[in-house]
Structure 1
Amino acid sequence: MTSKEKDTEAATANIQEKEKEIGDSQGSSSESETIPRRDLLSALNHLREIPDVLQEGILFAGGGPAILLQAAVPNILKEPQGGDRLAIQLLESVQTVISYICCLALGTKKEKKALIQLLDQETCPFKENDHYSRDPAVRLWVAATLYATATDIYQRVWGKMDYRTASRAYAEYSLIVSALKVPDDVWPKNREAFWHYWDTMIEDIDTSSLPKDLEPELVHNFQKLPRWVRPFKPVLRAFSKEMLPPHIREGYGLKSTASCRAIFKVGLWAVIAIYPAFPKKLRSYPQRYYQRKLEEQLK
């Protein structure tokens, strides 16, 4: 075991002990608790698995289905929106959270500390672009959609993770989720609990009232995304449709047509065949783009 691995395990063990102390001292209290921030920052500075995963730009292909899944639950935003405004606020919000995740996983110690302090004070950068509800259940769902879609994309390209690596990556992502102010007693404790929560949420989504104009409005507002994303609009649109569970896709009034499936399959084949051969600097460009935007605000 390397010294870095020992530091990581020591930090994680310290956090687990702190959580146990909180639980022992409060008994059956229903008040949400979070990891002590000093211990959290220490653990975030010793991540091993999740940085390698999150630096892969191809994960951003899961942004479309993540947004549609987020919008499938009630009260996802602070204020009810429809049509164009719903699409714009979701696009702004998901990019804001992604920039925070990139910083917490791959930023410097100084940047992570500054961001955590700002998140705690609710004076965080891009606050005006974070329209998600403060409801812990909503924050949980947002973090869950990003984890699930990123996991799906990553394993399609790189193959299935072994159990130990996947468990470590999930534990490290849980630290990031805690920094994003999702209460630790709300976020599933392990991967098994997460996928049980996920399957239950997907099954329980009421598809009868999904906004059928949302997907076209997201496409219409593609200019809200970075310029380097726009040439991939047809492929990303196919990914958004084909990665959704069938009943949710139908609830949005979307169809899995032969042409859409062909674009998805060819696009995925090309990604699997070509993307891993790209230099890491090119593959990590999307992550660095969002990280730089946040770095400018933290100076």
Structure 2
Amino acid sequence: MTAVPSTNQTPTPETTAVPSTTLVLTPETVDEYVDGIAAFLGGTANVIMQLSLRPVGRGVLESTVDSGKVTLHPAKRMRTTLTYIAVALLGTDAERAAYRAAVNTSHRPVRSTASSPVRYNAFDPKLQLWVAACVYWGIDDLYTRMHGPMDEATADAFYHYAARFGTTLQMRPELWPANRAEFHRYWNENLEQHTIEPALREYFDNLIDMTMLPWPVRFTFAELHRFCVTALLPEHLRNEMGMSWTDRDQRRFDRFLRVLTAVHTRLPKPLRMFPTNAYLFDLRLRIRLGKPLV
């Protein structure tokens, strides 16, 4: 794996080829496809997908940056992660650059040591490609489950736009698969090779069961959270986690989503976008006040 030579390097502007006749999304128009509920439903499942790539997972397990650990600071970790998604989706180029610089500071010490079982570097653009792919796949999957598939033009436009999940960090645009067919080949070929080692499985189980949160929160939400995480994991990772999922479970989850979608689509747009819009507002306020971004 190749590390980026400079932690201050700014990726080149997005140049992923998009035919001139297709729909092109912008931060001003993509918000029609931003469902804030995805952060609550799909967040942990997406983390498991990202960390199933062993170098990414070992980077989190071995990280010495305590301030960014979800097990120690769950509220801060949620803020920084969801702010990254918010600024990648809706932020200006200047806001994305500011957040990239802040994340670089946190990522700088995240690299393997002589005792690490695999080599990794948080600045590796290929690892960032996998993380970006997981975020895109998760958002697209949950959107499709809730609203049905996008039409082809919109799906292509959203896919090309989603390269921003990687280019907001160090991933160069040319690493993003050229089209959705190539993406799905990349996704399937890589996902099937991932195995979850016992230490990561224990880490994931703690996330799923919300062991870092106060008891009343765990008592109220942990069972539902595990149900949703199991539902939203790809089958391969579900098996790696030792989770069971039946046709009856799938029918229950489909009914749950139908009810949730019926309520969610009737909310005013600012509420439908929450908390994505709230974290973007918080980022802009932090920039204005000169406060730390991560």
**What amino acid is the match of 1:275?**
H
Q: Give the whole-Å Cα distance in 2 for the aligned partners of 1:274 and 1:240.
A: 21
**What amino acid is the match of 1:282?**
L
Structure 1 contact 98–290 (Cα < 8 Å) conserved: yes
TM-score of the superposition, structure 2-length normalised?
Answer: 0.70
Q: Secondary structure at the match of 2:243?
A: coil
Does residue 1:81 correspond to 2:70, yes or no? no
Q: Are the structure 2 counterparts of residues 295 and 45 from structure 1 closer, same or farther at C-alpha, using a change threshold of 3 Å?
A: farther
- The CA deviation at 1:209 is 5.0
Counterpart position of 2:12? 36
Q: Are the structure 2 counterparts of residues 249 and 235 from structure 1 closer, same or farther at C-alpha, using a change threshold of 3 Å?
A: same
**What amino acid is the match of 1:180?**
L
Identity %: 22
- The CA deviation at 1:103 is 2.2
Q: Secondary structure at the match of 1:123?
A: helix
- The CA deviation at 1:168 is 0.8
Counterpart position of 1:51? 31
Q: Are the structure 2 counterparts of residues 74 and 263 from structure 1 closer, same or farther at C-alpha, using a change threshold of 3 Å?
A: same
Q: 2:234 aligns with which of 235, 239, 245?
A: 245
Counterpart position of 1:96? 80
Q: CA RMSD in A?
A: 3.9
Which runs of 5 or more structure 2 residues have no equivalent in the other structure? 17-23, 111-120, 289-294
Counterpart position of 1:6? none
Q: Give the whole-Å Cα distance in 2 for the aligned partners of 1:46 and 1:62.
A: 24
- The CA deviation at 1:136 is 1.6
Q: Are the structure 2 counterparts of residues 81 and 36 from structure 1 closer, same or farther at C-alpha, using a change threshold of 3 Å?
A: closer
- The CA deviation at 1:208 is 5.8
Q: Are the structure 2 counterparts of residues 45 and 52 from structure 1 closer, same or farther at C-alpha, using a change threshold of 3 Å?
A: closer
Structure 2 contact 107–122 (Cα < 8 Å) conserved: no
Q: Are the structure 2 counterparts of residues 104 and 242 from structure 1 closer, same or farther at C-alpha, using a change threshold of 3 Å?
A: closer
Q: How does 1:157-168 map to 2 (within 5 A)?
A: 157-168=146-157
Q: Which has the higher helix share?
A: 1
Q: Secondary structure at the match of 1:213?
A: helix
Does residue 1:297 correspond to 2:273, yes or no? no
Deviating above 4 A after TM superposition, structure 1's stretches of 4 or more consecutive aligned residues are 31-35, 37-40, 89-95, 128-132, 207-210, 229-233, 257-263
Q: Secondary structure at the match of 2:245?
A: coil
- The CA deviation at 1:256 is 2.5
Counterpart position of 1:16? none
Q: 1:220 aligns with which of 210, 230, 240?
A: 210
Q: Are the structure 2 counterparts of residues 243 and 203 from structure 1 closer, same or farther at C-alpha, using a change threshold of 3 Å?
A: same
- The CA deviation at 1:255 is 2.6
**What amino acid is the match of 2:263?**
I
Provide Cα deviations, 1:1-37, integer angstroms capped at 9, x if missing partner. Answer: xxxxxxxxxxxxxxxxxxxxxxxxxxxxxx9997535
**What amino acid is the match of 1:103?**
V
Q: 1:178 aligns with which of 167, 180, 185?
A: 167
- The CA deviation at 1:260 is 5.5
Aligned length: 255
Q: Secondary structure at the match of 2:175?
A: coil
Structure 1 contact 64–240 (Cα < 8 Å) conserved: yes
Q: Secondary structure at the match of 1:189?
A: coil
Does residue 1:148 correspond to 2:127, yes or no? no
Residue range with higher mean Cα deviation, 235-244 or 263-272: 263-272
Q: 2:89 aligns with which of 105, 113, 121?
A: 105
Residue range with higher mean Cα deviation, 149-158 or 95-104: 95-104
Residue range with higher mean Cα deviation, 185-194 or 165-174: 185-194
Q: Secondary structure at the match of 1:160?
A: coil
Provide Cα deviations, 1:165-214, integer angstroms capped at 9, x if missing partner. Answer: 11111111224431322122322122111111111111111246573323
- The CA deviation at 1:246 is 2.7
Q: Are the structure 2 counterparts of residues 165 and 39 from structure 1 closer, same or farther at C-alpha, using a change threshold of 3 Å?
A: closer
Q: Give the whole-Å Cα distance in 2 for the aligned partners of 1:135 and 1:265.
A: 38
Which runs of 5 or more structure 1 residues have no equivalent in the other structure? 1-30
Q: Secondary structure at the match of 1:220?
A: coil
Q: Are the structure 2 counterparts of residues 248 and 103 from structure 1 closer, same or farther at C-alpha, using a change threshold of 3 Å?
A: closer
Q: Give the whole-Å Cα distance in 2 for the aligned partners of 1:129 and 1:156.
A: 37
